[in-house]
Each structure stands twice: as structure tokens, then as C-alpha cells.
Amino acid sequence: MAKLSEKIGYGFGDFASSMFWKIFSYFIPFFYVSIFGLQPAHAAFLILITKLYDAVSDPVMGLVADRTNTKWGKYRPYLLWIAVPFAVCGVLMFYTPQVGSYGFKVFYAYFTYILMMTAYTAINVPYGAMLGVVSEDAHEKSEFSSYRMFFAYIGSFVSMGIFAIFEESIKGTPRIVDGVPLLDELGNPVLIQTVKEAQPMQFTFVVSIVAVLSLIFFLLAFRMTREHVKIDKPADGSKGSVSDDLKALLRNGPWWLLTAASISYLIMGSLRGGAAVYYFSNILGGNAVFGSVIFLTIGELAQLSGVPLAVPLSDRLGRKNTAIVAFAWIALCCIPVAFLPASVTGFWGLLVCHLLVCVGIGVVSPLLWAMFSDVADYTEEKNGVASTGLVFSSSSMAQKFGSALGSALVAGILGLAGYQEGVVESSEAINQAVRGMMSWLPALGALVGIIFLLLYPLDTTRMKGIRARLAARRSATVTAK
């Protein structure tokens, strides 16, 4: 039986990474276009093309983690080893070079984005795989996953709160251009009204605060957690080959289906999060960044309220069925946003729909992570090989690919609709594109996720048999030794 402190410590790991992940999910298009200065089409291509790298780096990290053996375990040591590089790479990614051509800025954006995703992979793939070794009990794994998501949403809340405070702190201060205060026609200083007018170094500074907090909580996660399940790989005591692991994964039907469902889920979330700032600026006509940050922060609280429901609902309905119900709930609550008026009433309707969607997200998030532990057990039972890190690498890959594809879609759809940075007037095509990204498209993503989950075969009954056979096998292996 794992200690409460271990569950809290495990949650601290996603507290750390989620602070940055919300920045990736919600502010990457905004940062690269409005702060860094890339053209929207270039930003969209950058976000999308770097995911091809992740398609390789995530499985490689899973293979490396599976073959790691230290006094601290297989996966836990990476929380210690990568914490500092993670924080440093995060700051570099959100730094804007003040010298050099546009081509150099594009190169710098590619280089630092890939560097940060490498650090994210190196710490989060092993962290995710830890769920497979913190306990053998399915219910307890669900609890660990719920603690993880609970603290993930708190981390997101903290990150969004930091950005809201940041914008309020710079509002009303002089706007600086090329080191000189910008003056209006009367010679008075032009004051900053939104974060779009902030200096790039101001944006870097606020990200640095997030980076320091991430470093602290990753180290706490390492200190407070333990690996209780000792996995021999493979069962015959040999080292096992990389090609055998990869072949087994590629033949793993449940893995493909769950990965596809996870990508659909994350595209859905990134579309809504990335479009929120444009919904506030183009449709509601309010303070774009501040309004969207408060809006998304309130949503994090609603997601927190959904997390405690995941364990009792999955105990009653099973993980698979609960996830399907949650996806359907999310789709139904997204659709009304397409019909809301651009008024105060429309704002309150948007807020209600957002809160209801976020409750569903809070339910499904820990279930998807726990279901990857089911896939890991299925893989070990079927192949006699415990490729826990490799299996969980797909969850990290799905997270990054789905989020990045969603962010790229935001930039791409805005470009197709004719959006241009600096143009105040918003066309009807742009408004409809923004509405669609807040309603029909995320609802479609949820429905696609349901299709994959309906095909997913690892229900409660089947997993009970798999765990019983695994427990007997592991016990026999220990006795033989």
C-alpha cells in the first residue's frame, strides 16, 4: 500500500510539467506571432513540423528508460537528472533574440523548440511510466493518476494566474520600441494596454518564474516517490532487443486505439484553448489576453472538480465506459457555443458551456493515463516483455502531437480565414472560424475519440484476468530467484 505522501509527490511531477504545458497549449501561437514576430503561416509550420521529431524522440526515450537500472529505480531518477535542463530550455524557448535577421529568428525558434521538447520528453516519458511501477493494484493506480491530474490542474491554474498578474502589472506602463519610449502625436508616452505590446524580455521574465517553480516541484516529486513494482525485462532474464520491443508495440492494437483517442482529446483541448484569446478579442471585444486567461483559469478550477469523480465513476462503470461517457458529455457541451450571441448574455453562456466541458475533461484526463498502465500490463502479459517506458512514451507523444496539431490548426485556420496581426477590424470569416474552433471542431474531436474508445478492447473484466496472470508470473519469477 503506497503512502499518501507518495501520491502527493507523484502529483507534484505533473504540477511542474503542466505549468509549461499550459503555456505550450494556449500561448504558443500567440507568442510566436505576436511577441516573437513570426508570420502566422511560419508559426503554424514550425509547431507542426517539430512533432515529427517527437515521433522519434518519445519512443527512443521510452526504450532508454526501460533499460535504465539505478538504486532509485528505472524511471524515477530522470526527475532528478533532467529538472535543471528542463527549466533552462523553457526559458530559452521563450526568449526573443534582439539581433539577427528574420531567418535567424526562425532558426532560433526551431532550435529552442526542439531543445525544449527533448527536455520535456526526457523527464515526462519516465515520469509517466512510473505509474506502471508505483503499485500493482488497479484501484491504487487510478488514485495515483487522479492525484497526478489534480496537481496538474493546480499547476495550470498557477501558470495562468501568473500570466494574469503579469498582464495587469505591465498595463499602464510606457511602451518601449527599440529601447526608446514610444510617444503619441502630442508627445505623451504610449501606455501598454495588453500583453501584445509588452517587451519580449518581459515575457521571458514571467516564463522564468514558471521555470523556477517547475524545477522545485520536479525535485520534490523525486524526493517523495518510490518504485514498488520491480519489473524484469524480459521474463527469461535476457536483455531483450529494441527491435523486439518496437515490433511488439506496433502489433499492439489497444495501444494504437488508446493513442488515437488521446490525440483526438488533446487536439480538442488545444483548439479551445488556443482560440479563446481570439474569441475574446474578435467576438466579445474585450481585453483579449487578460479575459482569456481568467476564462481558462476558471476552467482549470472546473477541471479540478471533475478529477475526484474519475475514481468512483470508473469503479462503477469501468475506465473505458467512463471515458466514453465523459467524451460524449464534452461534445454536447461544446456545440451550443456556435450559437451564442456576441453580448453579455453570450459571454455568460460561453462561461457555462466552458465550465461543463471542463468538468468532463477533469473526469477523462486521469482515466486516459491509467488506461495506458492497462496497455502496459496487457503488453507484458502477452509478450512476456515489460515495455512500460515505451508504452507510456506514446502517451507523451500523443500529448505533444495532439496539442501541437491543435495549436497549428489554430494558426492555420486563422490564416485561411484572412487573419492579419495588427488589423483591428475582424471579418465575418474570421469570427466564424473562431466560433468553429470553440464549438464544432472540439465536439468533432470528442466524437472521434469515442469511436476509438468503442473499439478499445481492454475493459474491466479482461484486465482483471490479465492482472491475475501477471501477479502469478511475477510471484513465480521472484520465487525462482
Output b/e per residue, 336-356; b: 16+ Cβ within 10 A: ebeebeeeeeebebbeebbbb
| DSSP type of residue 384 | S
> Could you say which of 1.20.1250.20, 2.40.50.140, 1.10.3720.10, 3.30.565.10 is the CATH number of the domain covering 4-480?
1.20.1250.20
Residue 194: predicted pLDDT: 62
Amino acid identity for residue 188 in this structure: N
Gap between the Cα atoms of 351 and 333, Å rounded: 11
Which residue has cell 513570426?
A: 38
Phi then psi for residue 479, to 5 deg, are: -65, -40
Mapping DSSP to helix (H, G, I), strand (E, B) and coil, where does residue 183 land? Answer: strand
Which residue has cell 517523495?
A: 224
Residue 48: predicted pLDDT: 75
Residue 235: predicted pLDDT: 45
All residue ranges of the chain with pLDDT < 50 are 235-238, 424
Residues near 4 by beta carbon (within 8 Å), at least 6 away in sequence: none
C-alpha cell at 66: 526501460
DSSP E strands in 131-230: the ranges are 176-177, 180-181
What angle in degrees, to the nearest 10, is found between the helix axes of 40-66 and 388-416? 180
DSSP E strands in 119-252: the ranges are 176-177, 180-181
Residue 423: predicted pLDDT: 52
CB 105 within 8 A of CB 37: yes
Instruction: Give Cα 426 distance to the centre of its chain.
Output: 30
Gap between the Cα atoms of 387 and 231, Å rounded: 9
Gap between the Cα atoms of 33 and 426, Å rounded: 17
Mapping DSSP to helix (H, G, I), strand (E, B) and coil, where does residue 9 land? Answer: helix
Instruction: Tell me the Cα Rg of the chain.
Output: 23
Mapping DSSP to helix (H, G, I), strand (E, B) and coil, where does residue 377 land? Answer: helix
CB 149 within 8 A of CB 88: no
Gap between the Cα atoms of 56 and 51, Å rounded: 9
Residue 106: predicted pLDDT: 94
Residues near 473 by beta carbon (within 8 Å), at least 6 away in sequence: 235, 381
Residues near 363 by beta carbon (within 8 Å), at least 6 away in sequence: 306, 307, 309, 310, 313, 322, 326, 329
Mapping DSSP to helix (H, G, I), strand (E, B) and coil, where does residue 203 land? Answer: helix
DSSP E strands in 245-369: the ranges are none
CB 367 within 8 A of CB 337: no
Residue 480: predicted pLDDT: 54
Mapping DSSP to helix (H, G, I), strand (E, B) and coil, where does residue 189 land? Answer: strand
Gap between the Cα atoms of 436 and 16, Å rounded: 32
Q: Which of 219, 236, 225 is nearest to 73 (CA)?
A: 225
185 CB burial (10 A radius; 0-12, 13-18, 19+): exposed
Gap between the Cα atoms of 309 and 150, Å rounded: 11
C-alpha cell at 435: 466560433
Residue 127: predicted pLDDT: 95
Domain boundaries along the sequence of the chain? 4-480
Instruction: Give Cα 407 distance to the centre of its chain.
Output: 12
| DSSP type of residue 172 | T
